[in-house]
Structure 1
Amino acid sequence: MKKIKDKKRILYEKTEFSEAVSGALDKSRIMKDVEMFCRLDRYTGSRDGEEAAERIAERMEELGIPVEREKYQVYRSLPGAASLRVQGDSIEAAVPLTPYVYSGTAKDLEAELVFDRTSAAGGCSQREQRARMAGFSGKLVLTYENSFSFACEAKRAGALGVLTIWHADLAHHGTLGGVWGTPEPEDLVWHYPGIPFAEIGKSAGEELQKRLESGPLTVRLSIEMCQGIVSSTMPVARIQGRSEKFVLVSGHYDSWYEGATDNGVANAAMMELARVFQENRERLERSVVFAWWSGHSDGRYAGSAWYYDHHWEELKENCVAHINMDICGCKGSDVVGFQTSMLEGADFDREFLRGFNEGEPDPPVSMTRFADQTFWGADIPFAIMPKFIKKDHEMFYWWHTREDTFDKVDPEVALRDTRVIGELAAFFANCGKLPADMSGFVDFMESRLRAIEERLGGDFDLSPVWPVLGRLREAVMDLEASMEGQENTDDAILETAGELARITYTASSPYHQDPAVKAPVFSGLAMAEGLTRENTEEEYYLAVQTRFVRQRNRLTGQMKQVLEICRRWTARWENQEGNM
């Protein structure tokens, strides 16, 4: 092995081009477009949704930007009316409910209501979970749980329906679907629970909980849903640079009600950014693609998943970064942070974020699987989702409610958030070398794997991983050293850094999507954390052991492939130097 040189780390620096992009943004244009979007209830495949898509496409055409109207079919779910009535009350008033996307239906379903005490007290072991679920058979369940996995377990246990208590007195929309995008045949059977599932406001939920302490309650539940296949359009615009390599900037245009901050500001910001990049297209090195997705909330990321399926080869070969906009322009937002794949490195993130925060910015947070983070399987190394939040990190209360109206938008914050995306996209489009901190990412991989190992029982062994990870680190450091002074390194970074991201953030093949559930890094290994033979039923324990070994084999096998890719690129560049 050759001597490993010190690596020159790429930090963010403002350029004349990024400042030109940022300085050309027009706040009044952004706000005018936000106001336009707020007049349209942009549900996927609806008349207003299609009108919003057409207005975006027409704007691109007015600006001379090539735009494709991507048309697809989506299995969409929209909630209808829902209510709960308590039997025996002198005045049987209806308690309003908000059904979850992909909930089952119910018509005057009469049953005993039981409270899930475990949901208020904290978690439980897998063995305790079975005993907990046994009490739900033939009942309606009042709980603080709202996950897909809880719904599936409750359905299998014989629960007739679930009411989840929200943390505020607002009609907030959630989702129950465990399928990322359009379902495959098996998904239709196994990954839509089909159980009636609705949200109840905080005060009403707590009142029911208190009444259950005095004795059983019989209730009647009604839930209406509108579920089926609809056609939808997604505008995708391309500003061509000198290279076919491109930066993908995306955001969903479907929204709940007005959806001013989720996601009208992002829609308008992307339109304004497309104008500015088009006006500066002669200066672009890599291209920039703007995509407005539908099927985000009411189709569980169906739009971006369809686009992934039908543009897989182009994404794999040419997409260098994905920058996603979701919830922007909020009044009271005074902090800009990052959720990111971590491949650009914490130093890069810190330098960038210093320009948008008072004082030292929060450290970046590793990406989780949500919000159209659909593209891991195509080996796209950089995935960044800026988080426009408050210092107290509390979520804006109007998220997914009727309260997300135009008055919640701060024009200055909307302009700031647009600048963040613009400067990020400008950097990745025009930087000479992509800021891949691959050796730092290998350190990140090891830190996460060590944290998992600390919580594993003796039947789960990660020891085969460590020697391979050590060889991978050496190969990556050699590659980074050999890249110094090289031009046209995009393909090497996509092949190596992109694959490192894929094996860290996914558990399935490149051609499929992992389930649409909350999952940590190395999810196929992390599911064994804390399991013992004493706290886990025998069949489930064996199943997790099997999954763990297969995911460990996948990890070591793919790391060896990346190791060989590193060596191939290193040898190519060393041979070039030797022939000079």
Structure 2
Amino acid sequence: MSELQRSSSSGPAGTSSLGATVEPTRLMGHLREFARRVKLSGTPEELESFRYLQRQMEQFGYRTQLIFHDAYISLPIRSRVLIDGHELKSITHSMSVPTPQDGLTADLVYVGEGDEAAITRQDVRGRIVLVDGIATEDVAAFASRAGALGQIHISPNEHLYEMCVSPVWGNPSQHTRAHLPSTAICTISRDDGAILRERCLNGETVRASLRTEVDTGWRKTPLLVADLEAPTGDPDSPFVLLSGHHDTWHYGVMDNGGANATMLEAARLLAERRADWRRGLRICFWSGHSHGRYSGSAWYADEYWDDLDRRCVAHVNVDSTGGEGATILTNSGVIDELKGVAADAVKAVTGQIHAGRRQGRAADQSFWGVGIPSMFGSLSHQPPGPVKMLTALGWWWHTPHDLFEHIDPDNLARDTKIILWVLDRLLKERVLPLDYTAYADALLAELAPLDDELADILPIDGLKRAAETLRRHAAALTAMASTASDRDAERINQTLMQVARALVPINYTTGERFHHDSAMPHPAWLALEGLRELARQDARSTDLPFYVVHARQTRNRVAHALRQANEAIEVQLLDHARGA
């Protein structure tokens, strides 16, 4: 455990009593309201529910703004899958290509779980791929690229899971539009799929007909922003961002009604203790999460980039709280420098030891490019099940069965207390609990094998030294923070924000701060990928010099970010030593 984690593990004064004030009846009351409507992005029913959120936030004392913006939204309507003239139960998906009225017919080709190698090793051009597992953006991209006409996904069970299959994060631009799926995509049940799989594996030619109807295009969608400043009343002061989506598949009582109820209750209780805040709270409810591949949060990150860059200290995302049977609190995603905060919160509320996991490319995490440290998304999970590729959020997730009956009031209150615990710390602690010694350790672990593999091709010992310097500097900054005056604490916080702007993009993006990376699964420390690509090459390959060019540029980008971070901390340490 780092010095920063030890010094703050007890949390700010009053955190325990704050959790004790959570009212399960209020939480369930909000859920009853959310359970009244199907909230497809950009529909009147969704807007009506947004109005409820706005009224609640205004009652709690927040200044609200309901923004309407253009979003590229895709709403599945109906599908038909015919095999030998027999129709199978099916659904189509958000961002699937709609077929002509008469549909399309082609031979099936089974591609296992649909990884790129499985799809490219067969000729799928003009055919329909049969895939094990729920529909995903990566399979859609691979199948489209390989020239497939369609996809039929085999559900891991009898339920058909609604999905958005766009590999484009947020709204497509003229540059990313071509990456949208070019195939018609459906899902069928496990039992129906098993029969088709067996026929394909037996070498039988199976003809399938697909018909998909999908309403895709630009439309206005709502986005609710609720602000409450710190007691200073400075409208330009730093703030913590709390966010979650409001649009749903079907009634979506857990996903994302549970999280919305958590957000409202957290907003109410935190506002009552605003006198203790050292920074403001901004709460955003997104549309376009389910039907626009995070179009709301991505648009907001772009439109308000400068404000977020200057003022946002951290982002806490909330998704699918309160599910029945969700007893696992050890595996929520969190960025390295906030792992201690997550672990402390989970232990304080539940007694569980939070192992944590690297955040995935999901959950409206649209702010890594800006350089904002983030945590969570889904918070509580189901125990591991026997069926591969079944969601950790419950079998009802993304189905018409996501109803009130699958909410556990005690779990909802528990999850809300964890979110409260985290926000209370982020709002009240004199020095932001961002641990860049943990970041440095994680980066050094990534660089260690590369240092050996690249020693004779493109040395990266300079990166290792810079990361080791970061660790020393971060530890010194933490030690300084423990005795800092209020004035010094404010300076340290500004330094930590500068460090975050330099380092978060290196950890979670290609390093590009102004364009969103794709929604495809990404390797850890994506900005290092150019170095990894070089390390994977045969040293005798004639292509090696080409990889060296890109790897050298990659090294420079990471070195520059580390220099920015180290220089920011050095200035602060030097000023402190001089008594400035």
**What amino acid is the match of 1:200?**
I
Contact 2:244 2:318 (C-alpha < 8 Å) held by counterparts? yes
Distance in 1 (CA, whole Å) between partners of 2:70 and 2:127 is: 36
Change (3 A) 1:538 1:513: farther
User: What secondary structure does 2:176 align onto?
Assistant: helix
Contact 2:108 2:129 (C-alpha < 8 Å) held by counterparts? yes
Counterparts of 1:5-404 in structure 2, within 5 Å, are: 9-87=6-84, 92-107=85-100, 108-117=103-112, 119=113, 130=120, 132-133=121-122, 135-144=123-132, 146-188=135-177, 190-212=178-200, 213-242=202-231, 244-337=237-330, 338-346=332-340, 348-358=341-351, 360-385=352-377, 387-392=379-384, 394-404=392-402
User: What secondary structure does 2:292 align onto?
Assistant: coil
Distance in 2 (CA, whole Å) between partners of 1:14 and 1:478 is: 21
CA drift at 1:547: 4.7
CA drift at 1:21: 2.8
Identity %: 25
Contact 1:68 1:236 (C-alpha < 8 Å) held by counterparts? yes
Contact 1:171 1:401 (C-alpha < 8 Å) held by counterparts? yes
- Is residue 513 of structure 1 aligned with residue 516 of structure 2? yes
CA drift at 1:533: 5.7
Contact 1:263 1:327 (C-alpha < 8 Å) held by counterparts? yes
**What amino acid is the match of 1:157?**
A
Distance in 2 (CA, whole Å) between partners of 1:475 and 1:357 is: 34
Unaligned runs of 5+ in 1: none
CA deviation string 1:266-302 (max 9, x = no partner): 1122122222222222332221111111110101111
Contact 1:239 1:274 (C-alpha < 8 Å) held by counterparts? no
Aligned to 1:568: 571
Distance in 2 (CA, whole Å) between partners of 1:417 and 1:36 is: 19
CA drift at 1:95: 1.2
Change (3 A) 1:377 1:138: closer
Residues matched between the structures, number: 557
Contact 1:138 1:159 (C-alpha < 8 Å) held by counterparts? yes
Contact 2:70 2:220 (C-alpha < 8 Å) held by counterparts? yes
CA drift at 1:14: 4.0
CA deviation string 1:522-561 (max 9, x = no partner): 1243474698568xx999x988665544333211121122
User: What secondary structure does 1:10 align onto?
Assistant: helix
Distance in 2 (CA, whole Å) between partners of 1:149 and 1:538 is: 31
Contact 2:317 2:374 (C-alpha < 8 Å) held by counterparts? no
Distance in 2 (CA, whole Å) between partners of 1:419 and 1:195 is: 44
Aligned to 1:469: 467
Change (3 A) 1:376 1:81: same
**What amino acid is the match of 2:174?**
P
Distance in 1 (CA, whole Å) between partners of 2:449 and 2:193 is: 37
Distance in 1 (CA, whole Å) between partners of 2:478 and 2:313 is: 17
CA-based RMSD of the aligned residues comes to: 2.9
User: What secondary structure does 1:225 align onto?
Assistant: strand
Change (3 A) 1:543 1:93: farther
Bigger mean CA offset, 157-166 vs 5-14: 5-14
Distance in 1 (CA, whole Å) between partners of 2:501 and 2:426 is: 15
CA drift at 1:184: 1.6
Distance in 1 (CA, whole Å) between partners of 2:513 and 2:186 is: 34
Change (3 A) 1:461 1:257: farther
User: What secondary structure does 1:376 align onto?
Assistant: coil
Aligned to 2:389: none
Distance in 2 (CA, whole Å) between partners of 1:445 and 1:25 is: 38
Contact 1:457 1:529 (C-alpha < 8 Å) held by counterparts? no
Contact 1:524 1:548 (C-alpha < 8 Å) held by counterparts? no
Change (3 A) 1:349 1:75: closer
TM-score, normalized by length of structure 1? 0.88
**What amino acid is the match of 1:263?**
N
**What amino acid is the match of 2:42?**
G
CA drift at 1:459: 6.7
Change (3 A) 1:436 1:563: same
CA drift at 1:377: 2.2
CA drift at 1:229: 1.0
**What amino acid is the match of 2:483?**
G
User: What secondary structure does 2:255 align onto?
Assistant: helix
Contact 2:138 2:521 (C-alpha < 8 Å) held by counterparts? no
Contact 1:262 1:327 (C-alpha < 8 Å) held by counterparts? yes
